[in-house]
Amino acid sequence: MKNLYSIISILALLIVTCANAQDLKRQYCNPLPMEIGPGGNASGDVTVLKYQDKYYMYCTGGGAWVSTDLVNWEYEHVEHVSRIPVAPDVAEYNGRFYMSGNDCPLYVADHPLGPYTLAGEWTNTGEISEGWNGAFDTHIYVDDDNQPYLFWPGRGISGIYGVKLNPDNLCEFMGKPVHLFGFNPMHKWERYGEMNEYPGVAWIEGPWVIKRNGIYYLEYSASGTQWKTYAEGYYTATSPLGPYTYAANNPLLQKTEGLVTGTAHGSIVQGPDNEWWQFYTIVLSNPPGGRRIGMDKVEFDEDGLMSVVVTDTPQPAPLAEPAKDKPRSVPVTINKMRAMNALSKASSEQFGFFGSYAVDDFSGTIWMPEEDDKEPYLMIELSPATRFDVVQLFTVDAMRVMFGGMSKSGSNRGFGRSYSDQVYKYRLEVSMDGENFTTVLDRTDNTVSRNTVFDEFEPVECRFVKLTVTSWPEGAPRGIIDFTVFGYPSTYLPAAVATPTFSDLPKDGSRQ
């Protein structure tokens, strides 16, 4: 049997034509692998603006990210007279770019990346209602008649407000703000709590407006960014300031299990494929405040209802041509460091931060190797076979890693909003026998700072996968929140010990 493994391992080596595979970019995977730049970390409250042939992403955490395809994002510095606000919103109006956010005035620039200078303080030409408590999660929407509007939430259960802006001065309100809708305790998903158990408490925020086929879609977030129940809903209207009607298929986004949870506070933009794409915040399991960015496709039915399926597996990228005759890849490593996977192992582990935590499909646990383990690794046996079972082999083609860990002070730096360089170097190998390995992905020369990575590589059949981290960021805690390899079942090897089948039993009912 060992000779058979060795022969198959050699065949696998011949099949892999490029050990140092380039990014194929046929797919994307959540959380998105956002680059971390000097003073900029994509940590939620995401706004995506399309300008000419590029997309500009702004997040809490500073900076901007630029893309032409919604998949490859490069960090860019934003020149600003003050600082990038929390929950930044950027809108184009008459060739200029207006940035607003939480607890700040309005800023203006001639380019999406700045320099942004003060445009003015928010003022009004009409009566300010109780809904205006200063700028908070502001969103400027420009209708197709070039009339600008401002949308924002009140505090807590107040809900969403809107007002027409003066076209000659976007700092000025034109009339009294309109209360569009408030918290409704009958909408259980809007309530506070991990079980939505607070019937009278909520935090309504994050408005965003799009228009399609004459219908205005106003999405918003609840129940609060500290909960994994954080979700997105929407109302519709035939005019920007309503009246708005609650959508029958709410919530629009909601996911409370797995790696992608607490999906809310985002934006919708038309992609290069002319399809609509939803970007959103991902709330990690522990602690509150740890966040990432996700995106998924928006669908509209014949009645105009929109829907989004939140994903945490590889999905077709906008404009990408799918691989022909290839099954959809799924996670093949989850929970495969248990007794039935006897050959799976970590090179080392600190007590309470076990290797199995890297493959448990949960962002609230971490694998942390021993401090003196210079190049720690995780080896995962993909087939949980006993000696009486056939050995299932898998064809693997992609990998996701979420890096992070506990600092010596006990804080979860890997979960939070660290702005320091996070350049991780690593490689992925595959094997048939757990002894002879072939490198299918080499990132030992990586220079890009990311705390989440997603890599595609040429499909290869194997029984074992092995991730080795060859270099950690200087001074950063060493740990892995998630290690997932994606693939699909392929062939199998016979069981080590043959067992009788039904067809082998005597036909006369006698015992042998």
Residues 6+ apart with CB under 8 A from 3: none
Structural domain spans, the chain = 2-23+325-493, 30-312
Closest CA to 362 of 264, 454, 292, 286: 286
CA angle 36, 322, 55 (to 5 degrees): 35
For residue 7, give the H/E element and its range: helix 2-15
Residues 6+ apart with CB under 8 A from 386: 340
Hey, what are 466's tokens?
Answer: 């092995």
Q: Give the predicted TM-score (pTM) of the model.
A: 0.90
How many residues appear in the chain? 512
Are the folds of 2-23+325-493 and 30-312 the same?
no
CATH architecture label of 2-23+325-493: Sandwich (2.60)
Count the Cβ atoms, other than its own, within 10 Å of residue 108.
18
**What string of pLDDT tens digits covers the 512 residues of the chain?**
445 444 444 444 444 333 333 444 689 999 999 999 887 888 899 999 999 999 999 999 888 999 999 999 999 999 999 889 999 999 999 999 999 999 899 999 999 999 999 999 988 655 555 567 778 899 999 999 999 999 999 989 999 999 999 999 999 999 889 999 999 999 999 999 999 999 999 999 999 999 999 999 999 999 999 999 999 999 999 999 999 999 999 999 999 999 999 999 999 999 999 999 999 999 998 765 589 999 999 999 999 999 999 999 999 999 887 777 788 999 999 999 987 788 999 999 999 999 999 999 999 999 999 999 999 999 999 987 777 888 899 999 999 999 987 554 444 434 344 445 789 999 999 999 999 999 999 999 999 999 999 999 999 999 999 999 999 998 888 999 999 999 999 998 888 777 666 565 555 544 44
Q: Which fold has domain 30-312?
A: Tachylectin-2; Chain A (2.115.10)
